[in-house]
Amino acid sequence: MNITGIKGMNDILPGEIATWQFLEQEARRIFHSYGFSEIRVPVVEKTELFCRSIGETTDIVEKEMYTFTDKSGNSLTLRPEGTAPVMRSFIEQKLYTQDPVAKLYYLGPMFRYERPQKGRYRQFHQIGVEAIGVDDPKIDAQILAMLCHYFDAVGIHDVELHINSLGCRDCRPAYRQALIGYLEDRLASLCSDCQRRYQTNPLRVLDCKVPTCQEATATAPSMIEHLCAGCDEHFSQVKGYLQNLAIRYTVNTRMVRGLDYYSKTTFEMVTSSLGSQNAVAAGGRYDGLISDLGGPALPGIGFAMGVERLVLMKNSKELPVERLPLFLAAMGQPAGDRAFLLMSALQKQGLCVEMDYTAKSLKAQMRRAGKFGARYVLILGEEELARQVVILRNMDDGSQQELPLGGVEKQLLTLLSNPAPTPAAG
């Protein structure tokens, strides 16, 4: 009986890892330059944390959570997103007593029970950031600037930044009521999901992918027209800063986001290249969340990027293939033992070296060196060992030179620590 993995939960194999590592490294590099520090929180939290923050009537809480009871009878949930756990930690660890402004980022797996398809999985990975403690619209613009910077840096250009404002606790209720009124007049044209949720979560109807719902809501009132003076001013300033930073954006008044905790600025990075999984990154302001979770009344804003979707967009072939600097080809047991010592010494010096562990023909070993894209192959046969020499073959131009075995370690380190070595003479 073969045990298989779980549907919608993928293995990330060595052949694809270079793209993942590149995307992660660039995130760390860029986020650090904007003053963000990494935070690592558990992948499991009390179920209540997500119900209270994300919202009881959202898709995530209604249908997508991996919730289970542990042996002590506690209801726990595999985290479906990163913001709630980070805020839980921020409050519980009283990070605000050190500094009321915190800029944090995280990387890691998230879990949602969804229908698996291209770009949508049950275990997926997010890279996210949270900036806590700043009301000023400058931070909104800076978060958006950093997001755009990231996409530029990783070479993903087929994206568009969509922004919207969802208002605040003062102005959203009236808009909600106006929207419910509008939807009531068109109930017959809505899908069964929307007919059920238009009272509890009317904004979600604007986001429904069913074509008849989209038609029925084409002329729906927008939040933008209902913003209070404060939210309106905030949104204008965000747009002004974006213009000053030369960041291109589209105001998308239908973008509502699927989590309840958002307020004011919300945004998505969308692409046309991933079919219906068109959001590669998404986020927004969550000014009431920290106090709702029992923390101080501090505002916050953040985003999360879906790494699988980034990987799909980032053609991994664009990444330079990493070549192996050196392969050791040894023939016969004594030469093999000597080569093994040399390999270990070079690896200890930080050089990437491979050899064949089984006695194979030189031809077979050269084939293996070719598979690794080796720049040099060091050949050590019985005859060379007897003469205390080695043959160093440059795989790019086929040239060979004989070197004394004693001291070859140092020579190789000098030759190969040069990032762009000139072909060996000989």
- The residue (of 26 and 384) whose beta carbon lies closer to ligand ATP is 26
Closest separation in Å from C-beta 144 to ligand ATP: 15
Closest separation in Å from C-beta 8 to ligand ATP: 8
Closest separation in Å from C-beta 306 to ligand ATP: 2
Give me 355's structure tokens: 């050899």
Give me 257's structure tokens: 């986001």
Closest CA to 107 of 128, 80, 88: 128
Buried b (16+ CB within 10 A) or exposed e, 396-426: eeeeeeebeeeebeeebeebbeeeeeeebee
- The residue (of 311 and 380) whose beta carbon lies closer to ligand ATP is 311
Q: For ligand ATP, which stretch binds (CB under 6 A), given 197-205, 305-313, 365-373, 417-425?
A: 305-313
- The residue (of 304 and 378) whose beta carbon lies closer to ligand ATP is 304
Residue keyed to tokens 């995280």: 106
What separation, in Å, do the N-terminal and C-terminal C-alpha atoms of the chain show? 57
Instruction: Tell me, by CB under 6 A, how many residues bind ligand ATP.
Output: 18
- The residue (of 147 and 390) whose beta carbon lies closer to ligand ATP is 147
Q: Which one of 126, 201, 263, 265 is in contact with ligand ATP (CB under 6 A)?
A: 126
260 binds ligand ATP (CB under 6 A): no
- The residue (of 119 and 133) whose beta carbon lies closer to ligand ATP is 119
Q: For ligand ATP, which stretch binds (CB under 6 A), given 95-103, 174-182, 274-282, 390-398?
A: 274-282
Q: Quick check: 403 and 392 in contact, CB under 8 A?
A: yes
Residues contacting residue 308 through CB under 8 Å, at least 6 positions apart: 10, 119, 121, 124, 125
Give me 310's structure tokens: 């980034």
Q: Which one of 130, 287, 308, 356 is in contact with ligand ATP (CB under 6 A)?
A: 308
Closest separation in Å from C-beta 108 to ligand ATP: 12
Give the number of C-alpha atoms closer than 13 A to the C-alpha of residue 152, restricted to the C-beta side.
10
Q: Quick check: 45 and 29 in contact, CB under 8 A?
A: no
Q: Which one of 103, 120, 172, 285 is in contact with ligand ATP (CB under 6 A)?
A: 120
What stretch of H or E contains 85? helix 83-92
Closest separation in Å from C-beta 280 to ligand ATP: 5
- The residue (of 156 and 379) whose beta carbon lies closer to ligand ATP is 156
Q: Which one of 162, 186, 239, 309 is in contact with ligand ATP (CB under 6 A)?
A: 309
Within positions 68 to 87, which residues make up the interface with ligand ATP, using CB under 6 A? 81
112 binds ligand ATP (CB under 6 A): yes
Closest separation in Å from C-beta 10 to ligand ATP: 10
Closest CA to 131 of 107, 101, 108: 101
In whole angstroms, give the CA distance from residue 247 to residue 141: 9
Backbone dihedral angles phi then psi of residue 208, each to the nearest 5 degrees: -65, 135
Q: For ligand ATP, which stretch binds (CB under 6 A), given 41-49, 133-141, 215-223, 300-308?
A: 300-308
The three state secondary structure string of 47-72 is HHHHHHHHCCCCHHHHHHCEEEECCC
- In the complex, residue closest to ligand ATP by CB: 306
In whole angstroms, give the CA distance from residue 106 to residue 171: 32
In whole angstroms, give the CA distance from residue 96 to residue 325: 49
Q: Which one of 78, 279, 385, 392 is in contact with ligand ATP (CB under 6 A)?
A: 279
The contact set with ligand ATP (CB under 6 A) reads 81, 112, 114, 119-121, 124, 126, 258, 277, 279-282, 304, 306, 308-309
